[in-house]
Structure 1
Amino acid sequence: MTKKFLVIIAISISLLACEKAVELKETNGTKELKTAYVDTSLLMKEYQETKDVEARFKVKSENKGKQLEAQISLFKNEVSNFQEKAKANGQAWAEQKGAELQRREQQLGQAQQALSQELQQESAVEMDSLISGVKKFIKQYGKEKGYAYIYGTGDAATVLYAQDKYDITKDIIKLLNDKYNASEKKK
């Protein structure tokens, strides 16, 4: 009961704060709140830096994966040879070699899992940094253009409906790509 009460109070306070913080712009005798929205999934798909980060990690994954693939291929050859030699070398040899092959198989599986986790963590850190930069950019854009609110739509939709005339996604993509391309040319 106390948690529900606190949640209701928190929601009420945030709604009141939003109401008081809103500045209305007068247009043709009517007061209008300047708002817009950005399709975040389209933004991240079309933003060149996102494409470059994904491409970089794809190459990194392929390169690191090739090393592991070579070890896996060798292991498969050993398993194939083991089956042929097991008949010739007897039961004791087969049990000893089979146990060794099982240990190596587990090690290879652990190496695959560790590589996957390493790449996911590195990618997540870089994407978090990229997303943080995009949010800062949109915040600055909103301040410069006089928006009271800029909403996000897409995969994690916070807007269920908005008129197309309020969509600034293409403007944001163009500006972000221009900024990113300019910084890449300086490198």
Structure 2
Amino acid sequence: MKKTIILVALAISIISCNKTTTTTKEFKTAYIDTSKLMEESTEAKDIEAKYKDKAKVMGNQLEAEVARFKSEAASFKQNAQTKGEAWAQQKGSELQQREQQLNYAQQAMLQQLQQESGVEMDSLVKSYRKVIKEYGKEKGYDYVYGSGDSSPSILYAKDGYDITNDMIKKVNDLYKSVGKKEEKTETKKEEKK
């Protein structure tokens, strides 16, 4: 009797194990190197170049102010002995205030550029997430993981699961097509004038 009960229990457990193995599904997964995506994305490169140019323009304005300050500081050193101690103290105080103002202006410029570029890059990341989601649905992926410096969530994956280059091509193609649409719209507006 004990043997029969054990055999029935063993048979039930084997049957239940077979049911779970036949109902499990293999997931289709892939990953994207998010750092590489951002480095090789045309749109991200354009945003980076835009803010480098903007920083250069703003920096040139600040450099002109710094050059004037250095010129005044040099003349201060020459005139300090001839114009007396009272003049030197007053002028020295003014120069210190101007130097502080220049430092604050430089910090404000850097913060402004960081904030503006951060907003644009955040927007870009959100749009890329949408593209990745649509791509994952289109290709039938159950999961698409991210790897890279900014959001590493993969410790190991076979190279065959890497769809980074596909995604770079997709976002660059989308960016080019949007740019062409904008050019056509601008051309039509100019023709109407």
Deviations 1:79-136 (A, max 9, x none): 0000000011010110010011011111111111111101100010000000000011
The residue correspondences of 1:106-145 to structure 2 (distance < 5 A) are 106-145=100-139
The residue correspondences of 1:19-30 to structure 2 (distance < 5 A) are none
Hey, what does 2:165 align to over in structure 1?
170
Q: Please give the alpha-carbon distance, in whole angstroms, between the structure 1 residues aligned to 2:104 and 2:50.
A: 24
Q: Please give the alpha-carbon distance, in whole angstroms, between the structure 2 residues aligned to 1:31 and 1:114.
A: 55
Q: Please give the alpha-carbon distance, in whole angstroms, between the structure 2 residues aligned to 1:64 and 1:56.
A: 12
Structure 1 residue 144 displacement after superposition: 1.2
Structure 1 unpaired stretches of 5+: 1-25
Q: Please give the alpha-carbon distance, in whole angstroms, between the structure 1 residues aligned to 2:25 and 2:181.
A: 44
Q: Please give the alpha-carbon distance, in whole angstroms, between the structure 1 residues aligned to 2:101 and 2:39.
A: 37
Query: Structure 1 stretches (4+) deviating beyond 3 angstroms?
Result: none
Hey, what does 1:38 align to over in structure 2?
32
Hey, what does 2:52 align to over in structure 1?
58
The 3-state SS of whatever aligns with 1:36 is strand
Q: Report % sequence identity.
A: 58
Hey, what does 1:18 align to over in structure 2?
none
Structure 1 residue 185 displacement after superposition: 1.6
Structure 1 residue 168 displacement after superposition: 0.5
Q: Please give the alpha-carbon distance, in whole angstroms, between the structure 2 residues aligned to 1:87 and 1:185.
A: 66
Structure 2 unpaired stretches of 5+: 1-21, 183-193
RMSD between superposed Cα atoms in Å: 1.3
Q: Normalised by the size of structure 2, how large is the TM-score?
A: 0.80
Structure 1 residue 31 displacement after superposition: 4.7
Structure 1 residue 32 displacement after superposition: 2.4
The 3-state SS of whatever aligns with 2:79 is helix
